[in-house]
Chains A and B, each alone.
Chain A
Amino acid sequence: MPLSVSVKGIHEGLLITPGEGNWEDAFSSLLEHLDSKPDFFFGAQAIIQLGSYPLHAADLATLRSALADRGLGLHSILSENPATVEAARSLGLGTSLPKRELKESPISTELRGMDAIFLQQTLRSGNSIHFPGHVTVLGDVNPGAEIIAGGSIIVWGHLRGTVHAGAQGDETSVVCAMDLSPMQLRIASHAATSPPRKGKTQPEIASLHDGRLVAEPWSPKDKPKAADGKIKGEDIQG
């Protein structure tokens, strides 16, 4: 029976919580989930929250090598079961996360949002950024560089590389750039390439409208709306 798997980006990496039930089901559901978005998980660090599952060192070792096969590092195991914690320690895995002090603000004026990273550099061919939240780049993204983000991608510069926004399936993610000429642009499970540019470059924003990838000139006054897109979307799963 397939069980749910929840994935959350935290400071240390990806916090993955398999559903409660039979461990064999939970394990196979977890692997299935990982295999459904290999690009997203590749190169990440995993923190697995195991709840009360009683697991032996051998189970954890199997888990660790299954993750390693998919390019994920096992950062630590969180468990309520003392035997599982002991087993994780014996494999040299972390068993707790460092406590961070929560800043208590008297009146919350902060807007809620996803985690984001900011990079002030040019991403050159061969550079690769994987992040579960939003990614902002102040610089160019050159051909051969790639950004894979769980959220949106903003490039204050030329975007000529490959980008994947909403890599975990978030169809509300957008990609915007001062010059939007990506080698390939993906949002959730939709992919498109840039046609040759005509005329002057201008800031543009790409988003999904009714399952089609659309790029529009960015203008602070316009609300995003479906229009004749410059980028023609084609569903890569269709």
Chain B
Amino acid sequence: MTAKVLTITSGKGGVGKTTATANIGVALAALGQKVVCIDSDIGLRNLDVVMGLENRIVYDLVDVIEGRARLRQAMIKDKRLPELHMIPAAQTRDKTAIAPSDMIRICDELRPEMDWILIDSPAGIERGFRNAIAASDTALIVTNPEVSAVRDADRIIGLLEAEQKGPGKLIINRIRPELVERGDMLETADVLEILAVELIGLIPEDESVLIATNRGNPAALEPKSKAGQAFRDIARRLMGEEVPFPPLDGTESLRNRLSRLIHPKGAS
């Protein structure tokens, strides 16, 4: 098997890259895929906390690159999902501790054993971002329906195109249907019109994500969580399934409802 390398990136901080990485990793593993999530945010590691694996770290990514540990030793196996693995970032170093070529080497080593390699990118467009996209096959760009996050996502898409890493796929996170309804939040269509890339996920704002993050138990593991369901949908779309985008709770306008009644299969 040859793994696909997905880099989860955004430019702006705080839009939900780490949450998305953890949840998509969990959702893919729940579908029986062999997954490894790599935290490339050297110096500000978070992925281990969100995935609830912090207390099991012995070696990290920098230890592997600098030869103090083998890849296998640094790879933490998740106890909930046997196919899920995570390689933590080093907390005591900075972005210069690794180079883009190191990421390519590590991914090449992991590719034969895995189905998916998910790389959690740091915020920004500097060295850390370059490291995170070096080995990437597809970038998943996370943004929020707000002007500044969309601006940064646009910049990131431009940089990805310049690096010949393709336009990537878009995840719009933390959508608040009631604000969109009132016209106080950018609509999905507005975001897509500016960014003009393929949409792969719409995640509603959901407090279960916050609770899950603090407990180290990703929302994708909670069958009832709306955001968790949206992340599971992303995993299925990554597997090639056609999954329609369900109307976000409360956002469905009368017009959409009517048009669905009239054209039951029409995507409006």
Residues of A at under 8 Å CB distance from B?
122, 124-127, 140, 142-144, 158, 160
Contacts and interface: CB of A to CB of B under 8 A. Distances in A.
The winner among A125, A142, A160 for most chain B CB atoms within 10 A is A125
B194 to A, nearest CB: 6
A122 B157 CA distance: 11
The winner among A127, A142, A144, A160 for most chain B CB atoms within 10 A is A142
Contacts of B186: none
Contact of B157 (A124, A143, A158, A160): A124
A126 B125 CA distance: 11
Q: Which 10 A-B pairs have the closest CB atoms?
A: A124-B158, A125-B155, A125-B154, A126-B155, A124-B154, A142-B154, A125-B151, A144-B151, A126-B158, A127-B158
A142 B159 contact: no
Contacts of B193: 158
Interface string B152-192: 10110111010000000000000000000000000000000
Given A124-B157, A126-B159, A143 B151 contact: yes
18 contacts: A124-B154, A124-B158, A124-B161, A125-B152, A125-B154, A125-B155, A126-B154, A126-B155, A126-B158, A127-B158, A140-B196, A142-B154, A142-B194, A143-B154, A144-B151, A144-B155, A158-B193, A160-B194
Contacts of B161: 124
The winner among A124, A127, A144 for most chain B CB atoms within 10 A is A124
B155 to A, nearest CB: 4
A200 B159 CA distance: 32
Nearest to A127: B158
B224 to A, nearest CB: 38
Interface of B: 151-152, 154-155, 157-159, 161, 193-194, 196
A140 B154 CA distance: 12
Contacts of A158: 193
Interface of B is mostly: helix
Nearest to A144: B151
Given A143-B151, A144-B151, A125 B196 contact: no
A144 B151 CA distance: 7
Contacts, number: 28
Contacts of A140: 194, 196
Given A124-B158, A125-B151, A140-B196, 8 more contacts: A124-B161, A125-B154, A125-B155, A126-B154, A142-B194, A143-B194, A144-B151, A158-B193
A9 B221 CA distance: 61
Nearest to A142: B154
B163 to A, nearest CB: 13
Contacts of A127: 158
A143 B161 CA distance: 17
A144 B154 CA distance: 9
A126 B193 CA distance: 18
The winner among B152, B154, B155, B193 for most chain A CB atoms within 10 A is B154
A145 B225 CA distance: 39
A160 B190 CA distance: 13
Nearest to B125: A126
Contacts of A122: 196
Contacts of A143: 151, 154, 194
B189 to A, nearest CB: 14
A50 B151 CA distance: 44
A46 B158 CA distance: 28
Contacts of A160: 194
Contacts of B151: 125, 143-144
A122 B33 CA distance: 36
Nearest to A121: B161
B70 to A, nearest CB: 39
B96 to A, nearest CB: 23
A229 B160 CA distance: 39
A122 B194 CA distance: 10
A123 to B, nearest CB: 8
A230 to B, nearest CB: 21
A36 to B, nearest CB: 31
A180 to B, nearest CB: 16
Nearest to A126: B155
A125 B157 CA distance: 9
A127 B194 CA distance: 15
A177 to B, nearest CB: 15
